Amino acid sequence: MRHSVILAVSLAGAMALAACEQKNAEETVERAFQDVNVVDENDLSDVMLTVADPNEAVTYFRRTAKDNPDRIDAQRGLATSLVRAKRYTEATAAYATLVKFDGVTSDDRVDYADALLRAGDWARAEEELDRVPPTFETFKRYRLEALIADSNEEWNKADSFYETAVGLTTRPSGVLNNWGYSKLTRGDFNDAERLFTDAIRQDPSLFTAKNNLILARGAQGNYALPVIPMDQTERAQLLHTLGLAAVKKGDVQTGKGLLRDAIDTHPQHFEAAVRSLRALENNTSNG
């Protein structure tokens, strides 16, 4: 009998130990899976923020933020994805929530200001940038500061911010184009031409800078195409722009000639230039 009791106790102890070991093993496996899920989720978040369809990313981060309302990374992902999807009004609302979190960064506030600018709320964008410490110096921050200074016609500040932004990036073509356009609107055509040329040198595919360069030259009465990289279609489009610039300055006959050149140069039918020339000729005949 004594042996039976001892055996029973031993079996019970063994079973309890086995159960305990099984529980510990299950907890270990669960923790391991949780760690794997965290890694997988981080990888998925990176994919959603870079190569995924922006609207799919919005759906993913909106669901994640709803399920985890205390996670700042989920709210940040939602705001970023909304900007990628060009849903700027929703993005500003998401950023307004984000900046209330503990752990909000200066990058978050700069991104918030960027979303506000894209949504057309320049006053609030300026207010948000004012909350960023002056010691926080990034290309994006200075580019936004330059745009806001431009909108306020604070030209010296704008030039200073543009110059600083150019020095903080290895791809300055876009900000050089913006700076050139600022100079163009002020009537500083020589500086505008120089900045557009610099932008094209940095990125020969930037057609906006090429078109702006033509506007700067046309405003000075210079109707010769500059020596810059251009294909046949671009050449036709730039001749069209130059023709319209000549007409704007009152050089109507020169403008007509440039429009005809644009039509002849374009590899296909150039409807916009045809309409412009037809309108000019009709006005001349009616006048």
Neighbouring CB atoms inside 10 A of 81's CB total 27
First to last CA, the chain: 127
Give me the pLDDT at residue 179, please: 97
- Please give the CATH architecture assigned to the domain spanning 137-229: Alpha Horseshoe (1.25)
Give me the pLDDT at residue 35, please: 43
Residue matched to tokens 């020969």: 204
Name the residue ranges covered by the structural domains of the chain: 40-112, 137-229, 231-287
Whether 40-112 shares its CATH topology with 137-229 is answered yes
Chunked into runs of 10 residues, the chain (287 residues) has average pLDDT values of 46 48 49 44 73 87 94 95 96 97 96 98 97 96 97 97 97 97 96 98 97 96 95 97 94 94 95 93 68
Long-range pairs for 169-177: beta carbons < 8 A, 24 or more residues apart: 169/139, 171/202, 171/203, 172/198, 172/199, 172/202, 173/199, 173/200, 173/202, 173/203, 173/206, 173/209, 174/199, 174/203, 174/206, 175/139, 175/143, 175/146, 176/202, 176/209, 177/206, 177/208, 177/209, 177/212
Nearest to 237 by CA among 202, 263, 276, 206: 263
Q: Which two tokens stand for residue 74?
A: 């989920």
Give me the pLDDT at residue 12, please: 47
CA distance 244 to 259: 8
Q: What is the largest CA-CA distance in the chain?
A: 127
Give me the pLDDT at residue 53, please: 87
CATH of 40-112, one of 2.40.128, 1.25.40, 1.10.600, 1.10.490: 1.25.40
Q: Under 8 Å CB-to-CB from 149, ≥6 apart: which residues? A: 155, 157, 158, 161
Give me the pLDDT at residue 27, please: 53
Give me the pLDDT at residue 41, please: 61
